[in-house]
Amino acid sequence: MGLFSKEACCFCGKEVGVMSRSKLTSGEYVCTECKYLTNPFLRLDHMNREQVEAVMKEMEESEQKFQSIEFRKTAIQRNGKAWIFYDSWTTTGEFAVVTPETAKYKYHCVLDMDLVRPFDKMLNADRLPKLTVSQVKESITLTEKKDASGNLSERVLHIPYFRNDMNIDMHFPTFVPEKELGYFYNSVAGILSRWVEKSATRQKMQVDNMSRTIGDAVMAAVKGEGEEGIAKAIEQGLDKSQAIDEGKVKKKGLLGTLFGKKG
């Protein structure tokens, strides 16, 4: 086929030219309209048809998740364009990014703060070593790009993510004030890096809750409360575990630990 020939989209069948399609590793093509049903941070030219179809289904679920979360919002709006960082740092540790480019896509991609780190093929995603606050913050960068003449063309905020097929970049034109962008960058980097501390606190709370639940179940058995008493202790422990995951349980201070109610 020639460079200017039209090819059929493997999803909708529409025939499109070279400027309105992406080629998959399987040799098939995806039109721009169908591409906007996928993840804006993925490289489609590294995927086959089955993988792209799976992503489309994932993104429908991601949008439902996005709509169900009470996100905070940090934003820059200039010249009719918007760059938005959504976060649930105080609760579930998820975030989403919207730029003028990703706004063309139908669905929001909900991301996990625990995976904000450079990709390393030697590491297992299920057993990642913990990073410090400073390590996470330093991995989030704001760099300047220049054109062939050496003039500033844009600034790019990069958020590393533990997936080798995903690239999260926010491109800012030169009309966005440097001071405003600096504040935005510090806010984003601060939110993502502080999650490291919050995540560690939640893990400790879960361990403490598990120990307390086992203790309560044993105590119920000792008191002769039978299966009903044991089941009640376990149910209360499970309820609290879910509340911890949802960020509804806060860590007690020293006075709260000494004199507060059992919970």
The residue ranges of every structural domain in the chain are 7-60, 66-196, 199-254
Query: H or E segment at 220?
Result: helix 178-222
Per-residue tens of pLDDT for the chain, all 263 residues: 455 688 999 999 999 888 889 999 989 999 999 999 999 999 888 899 999 999 999 999 999 999 999 999 999 999 999 999 999 977 788 999 999 999 999 999 999 999 999 998 888 877 888 888 899 999 999 999 999 999 999 999 999 999 888 899 999 999 999 999 999 999 999 999 988 876 655 655 555 667 677 777 777 787 788 888 788 878 887 877 777 666 666 655 444 444 455 54
Q: In the Cβ-directed half-sphere of 45, how many Cα atoms lie within 13 Å?
A: 3
Phi and psi at residue 38, to the nearest 5°: -105, -165
C-alpha distance from residue 247 to each of 23, 88, 105, 162 (Å): 42, 9, 30, 24
Point out which residues pair with 72 in neighbouring strands.
87
Classify burial at 165, counting beta carbons within 10 Å of its beta carbon; exposed 0-12, middle 13-18, buried 19 or more: middle
